[in-house]
Amino acid sequence: MIDCIFTGDIMPGARRVDEVPDPGLLGHFKEADLVVGNLECPIVSEPPAVMDTRKIPLWSDAANLPILTSFGFTHVSMNNNHIFDLFEKGLDETQGLLDNAGIGAFGIDYGVLSQYRRVSVKGITLGMAAVNWVETRFCGHLSRDLRDLDVGSLKKDCDFLIMFLHWGDDHNIFINADQQEAGRRLIDQGADLVIGHHPHVTQGSEVYKGKHIFYSLGNFIFTPREEYESLPYSIRYEDCRENVLFQRPECKIGMYVRVVFDRTGYEVAGVCPVYREETLPAVLPASLASFFDGMLEQMNSQVAGSAYELNEAGRRMILTRYTLPLILTHPLYWPVFFRKLNVGKAVRFVRQGRVGKLWKK
């Protein structure tokens, strides 16, 4: 029997974290054989000289690496839209630091790293593979997409195949059609468990043909507020929509999933909420229990009914309430905004919420 814990996004931030981990939460993690999460940034020992300034780059100080070991992380997925923010140099150092800390990395084809990793514990073999659907222009050369990944062959190499998907719409607690189509197709092709992340909020889950799909586990260790003085424009998280969105309770609440595997199958032993006041997760306060229960019911009902119109309404809400007011009041965003925008794209974005089918592209 293997006792595993899966978490969402990990990004401790560029400043040293002085918080003390919640001992009650640490106790649960230390009982697990494997702890796996999504590393949302490179980890380096000094401020980077070169970074990808086509977006707000993320990176973490190596002084924060003991946070990961304190939670007992054994493996991290690195297939996401920020892992290449410090280019090859950042990846090289990240890989070395993780190796020294005894944390296995997977999810990208770079050096000795692979998009697929096989792990054997107590005579049971788990296969773990990761795919990124977000801003693939920045790191798409590091991995294959779902259409190019032979899921059936991967399944033959292990007892249980776990797929990690970086997907979904930012800050939206409701899934889109692409996610559900892809998650179910992965199960059809042989995957046993699907774990999603990226939106910075939790999303619903479902059991499809006896296999579990968790569409997003939200943030686990995450620092949303930083000052990036090295960027060619002046941005503070305190001034932009990200900070407002990150302060919503929907974003401060994440989840971790405990799964127990044995030779006959697996059981989801717990879906547990966590709460972040700043960077580190803690046990969900009792005052937020009813809020989380209501949100979980909403999310799971949306998944069960494939109610994609809720996702589209959420996208429009975020656009009109957060994104457009930020852009209109900060001229420094105007060049990027108008460079990306055209009339047809704007109309489709507002009316339909999404453009095209990622799976079918």
First to last CA, the chain: 40
Residue 60 placed within a domain: yes
**pLDDT by residue (tens digit) across 208-238?**
999 999 999 999 999 876 655 555 444 444 4
Q: Which of 9, 12, 3 is nearest to 43 (CA)?
A: 12
Q: Which residue has the higher pLDDT, 333 or 306?
A: 306
Give the bridge partners for 227, in sequence order: 236
Cα–Cα distance, 150 to 161 (Å, whole number)? 12
Give DSSP secondary structure letters for 47-63.
Answer: --S---TTS----EEGG
Residue 361 pLDDT: 35
pLDDT of residue 360: 38
CATH at 173: 3.60.21.10
Residue 94, amino acid = T
Across 28-42, 173-187, 310-324, least confident range: 310-324
Does residue 183 lie within any of the structural domains?
Answer: yes
Using the predicted structure, report yes or no on whether residue 10 has a pLDDT greater than 90.
Answer: yes
CB atoms within 10 A of CB 271: 16
Cα–Cα distance, 139 to 269 (Å, whole number) = 35
Q: How many CB atoms lie within 10 A of CB 100?
A: 10
- The average pLDDT across 278-297 equals 96
Rounded CA-CA distance 280/107 in Å is 24
339 lies in some domain? no
Taking the model in full, what pTM does it have? 0.91
Query: 127 lies in a domain?
Result: yes
Say how many domains are in the chain.
1
Average pLDDT over residues 155-171: 97
Q: What is the pLDDT averaged over residues 287-315?
A: 97
Domain enclosing residue 240, as ranges: 2-306
CA 89 to chain centre: 23
Task: Give the Cα separation of 139 and 147 in Å (integer).
Answer: 17
Length of the chain equals 361
> Which residues are CB-contacts of 177 (< 8 A; sequence separation ≥ 6)?
306, 308, 311, 354, 357
Report the Cα 301 to chain-centroid distance in Å: 22
Instruction: State pLDDT tens for residues 108-155.
Output: 999 999 999 999 999 999 999 999 999 999 999 999 999 999 999 999
118 domain-assigned: yes
Gap between the Cα atoms of 198 and 61, Å rounded: 21
- For residue 280, tell me if it sits in a domain: yes
| Per-residue confidence (pLDDT) for residue 266, from 0 to 100 | 98
Tell me, yes or no, whether 315 lies in a domain: no
Residue 334 has pLDDT above 50, yes or no: yes
- For residue 351, being part of any structural domain is answered with no
Report the candidate in 80, 117, 116, 113 with the shortest Cα–Cα distance to residue 96.
Answer: 113
User: Do 280 and 67 contact (CB within 8 A), yes or no?
Assistant: yes
